[in-house]
Each structure stands twice: as structure tokens, then as C-alpha cells.
Amino acid sequence: MTVAALGDSLTQGFGLAPENGFVPVLSRWLDRNGAEVTVINAGVSGDTTAGGLSRVAWTLTPEVDAMIVALGGNDLLRGIDPDVSRANLDGILKAADEADVPVLLVGLDAPSNYGADYEARFEAIFPDLAETHDALLYPSFLAPLTAESDMATALATLMQPDGIHPNAEGVTRIVEGIGPHVLELIARASDEGSGS
């Protein structure tokens, strides 16, 4: 089975040794948990939801059985209108629907610096679209980093100096959080592939 991870620098593994990036660490986690899966790194550093939409057609090659979609962080950094981000992610999920490829949609917590309205509109995108497209939802890519500690501690111990990208230990925690959801995605792809 082949899973494509469509995303930005968090997926691509920015600032890390190749073996410590999200995709290689996830691949090893899945292997240890009995899933024989090839994970394709379709992460592009700096990519927005618009970039993901422009790449989704050639990401969804015939051998791709399932897709993780982890985009939106760069939309947040640029203050892009949540309606634009929503439309782009909707287009990505429509492409996956048309290709009969199940999706795990990965959400993000919006910062409060754009105001409560922006924050609420952005964070609503992910559960809304997951429901519309019957996609699996993982609420927040970075949530495992603050699960055991406060944000200041997480920034100091689990993030790179830029405060945006996780370090190797941070990636390990992220994978431990999202891994069971990827196993669920793989199970869904197996069921659909067998015609059940």
C-alpha cells in the first residue's frame, strides 16, 4: 500500500536530517506497528493550500491508495482569508474523492493574533470539510507537542530555534500522536480496495 503525505515544511522535514523528518519517522512507526506501507513525501517547504491544490493531481498517481493532507500553516503565517484556504482544501479533497483515495485531513490551531473571528473561521475548516468529504480528521498536527508540557517548555525542548518547526524529538511525538490515525486511514483504504 502507498500513502502520499501532501503537505508543507512540516511534512517535508525542514531543518532536520533526512532520517528525522516526518515521513521517514512515520514510515518506521508504521513498520513497527505491522503496516507494510510506502509513504511518499509530497511535502514542499513554504507551500500553501493553493500550492497543494496545484500539486494534488500529480500527487494522486495510480499507485497512491491513501493520502494525508497537512496544509494550512503557511496560509496562517500569511494571514490568508480562511474562505480561500477552505476552497483550496475542498478542491484537494474533491480530487481525492474523484480518485477514490481516502484522506486523513490534519488540522491546525490558529493563533489568536488575527482575532477571534479569523481563528474560529480557520479552525472550523478542518472538521467541516472532513464531514463533507467523509475524510478522517486529526485535529492538530502540533498538538502532541503541548500534550505533556506548557507551550514555553515545548518551544524550548521540542521545537527548532525558529519556533515553527519541530526538532527530531518533536517529530517523534507528532508521529506517536498521528500514527494510530494513519493506521485507521490504511484500514479504510484496504477496505475500499477490497470492494467492501
Query: Given this model, what pLDDT does residue 195 score?
Result: 45
Q: Is 165 a catalytic residue?
A: yes
pLDDT digits (tens, 9 = 90+) for 90-110: 999 999 999 999 999 999 988
The residue from 112, 117, 162, 196 that is catalytic is: 162
The string of pLDDT tens digits covering residues 61-83 is: 999 999 999 999 999 999 999 99
The answer to whether residue 9 is catalytic is yes
Q: Say which CATH number the domain at 45 has.
A: 3.40.50.1110
> In residues, how long is the chain?
196
Kindly report which listed range (35-39, 55-59, 155-159) carries the lowest average pLDDT score.
155-159
Number of structural domains (the chain) is 1
pLDDT band at 196; cut points 50, 70, 90: very low
Please give the C-alpha separations between residue 120 and each of 77, 111, 117, 124, in angstroms, as whole numbers: 16, 10, 5, 6
Given the residues 8, 47, 85, 165, select the one marked as catalytic.
Answer: 165
Nearest Cα to Cα of residue 67 among 94, 45, 87, 48: 94
Catalytic residue among 9, 27, 65, 85: 9
Q: What is the mean pLDDT of residues 28-43?
A: 97
Q: Which residue has the cell 495510480?
A: 62
Summarize pLDDT for 121-165 with one digit per residue, the tens.
Answer: 999 999 999 999 999 999 999 888 877 667 788 888 999 999 889
pLDDT at 60 over 50: yes
User: Is 181 among the catalytic positions?
Assistant: no
Taking the model in full, what pTM does it have?
Answer: 0.95
What was the pLDDT predicted at 194?
52
pLDDT of residue 91: 98
For 160-167, the CB contacts below 8 A with 24+ separation are 160/15, 162/15, 164/73, 164/77, 165/9, 165/10, 165/14, 165/15, 165/16, 166/10, 166/142, 167/16
Q: Mean pLDDT for the chain?
A: 94
Residues spanned by the domain of 136: 2-193
